[in-house]
Amino acid sequence: MNYGMHTEALNQTHIAKACEAVVIKDQIVPIAIEGKQTAKAILISKDEEYQNIKLDKVKSLRPVFTQENGAVIVANTSTLNNGANAVVLMIHDEAGLMGVQKLARIIF
Mind listing the pLDDT tens digit for each residue in 41-76?
888 877 777 677 776 777 777 766 666 756 666 666
| N residues, the chain | 108
Contact (Cβ atoms closer than 8 angstroms) between residue 4 and residue 13: no
pTM above 0.75, yes or no: no
> Is the predicted pLDDT of residue 15 greater than 90, yes or no?
no
Residue 55 backbone dihedrals phi, psi, to 5 degrees: -55, -30
Q: Which residue has the higher pLDDT, 12 or 36?
A: 36
The pLDDT tens digits for 73-107 are 666 666 666 666 667 788 888 989 999 888 887 77
At 1 the pLDDT is 40
**Per-residue confidence (pLDDT) for residue 99, from 0 to 100:** 92
Domain layout of the chain by residue ranges: 7-98
